[in-house]
Structures are given as structure tokens and as C-alpha cells.
Structure 1
Amino acid sequence: MSDFLVPDQTDRTWLVTGANSGLGLETSRMLAAAGAHVVMTARDAAKGRAAAEEVRVGLGGRGSVEVAALDLADLASVRALAEGWERPLHGVVANAGIMMVPQGRTVDGFELQLGTNHLGHFALVNLLLPHVADRVVSVSSALHKGPPLDFDDLFLERSYSPGRAYQQSKLATLLFTAELQRRLGASGAAVRATAAHPGYAATNLQSHHAVPLMNTLMAVGNRVVATSAEEGARPSVMAATYDLVGGTYVGPSRLGGLRGAPAPASRSLEAADDGAARRLWDVSEELTGVGWAL
């Protein structure tokens, strides 16, 4: 994997969500090392500052980083960041996420995984879009494959399953990318929407499962099967910096998408459903109060 090269990012500003650990930290590190200025967002300010300092130490004079507070489970926090943004922005990497956590609600009353992984990013991207010059990258998962969205029970109030909640939140991420790209293309904007998934990368994402036994099993998997967070971030960085057609989905190219060099990846038929993508967009606008910005 040493042959993975990041195109020069000098004079470009990127915003990366969930940047204090795991994939977000490594994505920030790679972009900054290529010369970018990276705004590393974190819900916990102290963890964000520690992560930013870790990145700075290894830059060797190239690139720069700063920290911004952002809680995607709170639309007030999303609006505060976006409304205070007054600079050009090359792109956004919508990376932050939670995985298979116990049933819960965001500050605004949304199911926690859909609210954090999709709705928070939906609002953030649309609010920042007038500043974005080139790219919006949304991080999904190979685990998006499964049943279609249940628009009659998006918050899974009838029967909550941590795995189903995660699957539909990552399916929503790909449907959002598809509809965002359609709208960008129709408006004539130069911005492109792409998506990525990390394969099986060892991060702290796997340590908060609603079933304690699964945390133990995932810890074993992280040691035996998973790649590093750095390798898992490469699809996101490719989706952000390579000259790709809008709508491209990038993931590891070996072992069924679990690991290997990043390359265009396949998505499920449910993730390619244009009707579902448009319907989800309308529902997301209604839920968040944030509409199309261009």
C-alpha cells in the first residue's frame, strides 16, 4: 500500500467530520501531509485538540490543521458551525459516524444512528454547500447492503435493531450522495459528490455495540482480520482528491471489499434507487428544516 499517492493539496481547505480518531484522524493526516489546511471537527473539544496536535507533529512543515466543534446529533451545533463559516472550502469529508449502538435519540428526536450518520451530515453539507468549490465525500459502509429504507418507520420505532439501524443509515448515505450528485449536475455546479467505504478497518467504531458480546468479537476481528485505520482512510482520500466522475463510490479492491488498494466499488441495487434517493432527500429536508442551497 506504500504506492498510494495523494495529489498535491496546497492552498486547499478541507473540513473533515469525526476527525479526532480513526478514519477521520487518518484522513486529516493524509490531506494535511499533501499540503492542505484541514479543519478537523470533533464533538469533544479536548480530544479534537489532542488529535490536531498529533497531526501537526508529523507534518514537517507541510499543511496545517485547526479544530472546530461539531456535534452531528445536535442540529444547533451543525448550524452554529455552518453559519460561522466565511471562507472558501475546497471540500467536505462527511466521515463521522456511530455503529450499532443501543437505541437512542439525537437532541432533535431522530433515531440516533440515522440522525448522526445521515441527517446531521445532510444538514451540514447543504448549509456549507455555497462555500464548497470541488467535492463532497460521504463515508458509507459495505454493510449498507440489505433491505431498502422503510419510509413508514425510518426511526425503527416498531422494532429496533442496532444492525438494521446502522445498515439503513449507511444506505441513506449512498442515496444522499446519488441525489446530491443529480442536483449538482442539474444546476451546472462544478462540485462533485462522491462516496467511500473503508472495508474492514480497525477503529474505535466497533467498540460501542449494543450487545456487549459483539464488542468482544469485534475486538478479535480488529486484531485478526481488519486493516489499519490509515489503510481504511485511503478510499475516502481517493474519493476526495482523485479526478473521479461524480457519484463514484470507492472502496478496497480485495477480499470482497474488506481490504486492498482503493478502487471504484459496487453498491447495492437499493443504493441505486433514484426514486428512494429523491424521497429520502424530501424527508430529510422536512426533518432538518434545511433545504437545497444552490
Structure 2
Amino acid sequence: MPRVALGVAYDGSAWQGWQTQPHGISVQDTLEAALSRFVAQPAATICAGRTDTGVHALGQVVHLDTAALRRPESWVRGLNALLPDSIAVQWMRSVSDDFHARFSALSRSYVYVVRNARVRSPLVDRRVGWVYHDLELAPMQQAGARLVGEHDFSSFRSSQCQAASPVRTMQALSIEQKGEYFFFTFKANAFLHHMIRNIMGALLYIGQGRQEPSWIDALLAQRDRRLAAPTFAPHGLYLAAVEYPAVFGLPGSDPLEACFTHLGWVAGAQAVEPPMLPGRR
């Protein structure tokens, strides 16, 4: 049966995560209901990464097997006509049957957008994280650099995590500031449950001066979640991009560029220019 890959974006505020739930209030349940109507048969999907309650996606990738024949544009517009405003298919590609949305992925990139201001803004509620204590960029950057590479991330792992191993490879971690907005970009082969949100808690402690950057080394060595900072809120966390081998021919994007494309109004509301990206002049 032919295999189809879809790029999906969603606002996670109203949904209890990606994964199907008994009550049906998840992104997967809603997408599969629309797919079943669109292809006129039951449809089951596999995703690149299961996002938590309240976490958003700009570049989620799913695949499904179906005998339905539709033009790519019909997949996008037809499905979006059946989906709520908070979920939208961005693209469709026909792929070979050896493609797997989860296991074929080379990396996953998340972007955490944090607004650092004394007073909260209702205009960006649930779209960005909010920290009212002053944040210093340099200490957070120094701490983030210590997380790059292969590590045992037990100190940043949820007690509910079901992964067989706590070892992951952080391929890149960058932090940029423009005005009152901080952009944290994480790229790894895979992530543990709540791993990014737990790392964010530690980085923000360091940015507030409550810990030194070297604290990250101690946390990695101690491998004890109880010694690290509290889990940061899901608001402002985006699954921004998933990278696959070029042979599959799927659209690719820079995660930070994807974030600006979808959230340009956030920066524009405060007259903040996006950070300089590689190749941008």
C-alpha cells in the first residue's frame, strides 16, 4: 500500500499532547479522524516526535499507508477543511515504504521562545514562555555548550520516561537574544520525556544567577533528577523541524527560520528584529 508523509503544524494549547487518548482530545486523534473522512477508510499515523500537552509544532512529520489517490494540493487543502483552526497540514509527499516518520529521522529540532519582561503580556499567552526575573545571556550560553555531545541525561529525564536508555546526543544547542525575547534551539538525535523542559529549568536558573554554568557538569555527573531545577512550562516550546535523509525528498527548513515564519507577529508586536541567521545579511 502506498505510503504518504505529511508535514503538520499545530497550536498545542487546546490539546493534551500528540498521542492518542481515551477521551480523544489529542492532536493524533483529531488528525486521524480528519484523515479517515478524507480517504474514506480508517487511517492510522506514526509521528516523528510525541509532543506534550501545551507544546506546539511547526514541523511535525507523520506517515500513513493508504490506497487513496489524491493530488498533493488536495491532501493539504482537503484535510485542512476538515481540521480545526489549531491544526493544519503544511505539505504532502509520496514516500517509499522504507520511510518511517520516527525511525528514519536523523535529528529533531525544538525552539523554545521565552519573553523576559517584568509584566506578562496577554497577547502572547501560551505562545511564548514568560520569565519576569532578569536573564543574562552569556551564562546560559556557557551552560548550554556543556550539554552538547553524548551524555547521560538522567538529571533531565521525567520519572515517567519509558526510554530504554537515558543517553542522548545533543547535536547543537544555541541561545540568542533580541530585545526581550530569548530563542533556545535544541537539536538532537532524540529526546527523553520532558528533557527539554527540564534543561530549560536549569538554564533559566543559571540565567537568573541562581547557579553557575558549571552546575550543568555536576547535574550530568550526578544523574539525579531530584537535584536539578523544576520543569519549565510547555508554553513557548515548538517542535520546529525534523531532518531526514535527502533520498526521501522531504521539505527541510532551518528551525529558527520556521519559528520566525510562523511567529513573526510576536517579534513584530514589540518591534524586535529576528536574530541574525547564517547567510542572512
Give the TM-score normalised by structure 2: 0.28
Q: Which has the higher strand share?
A: 2
Q: Which has the larger radius of gyration?
A: 2
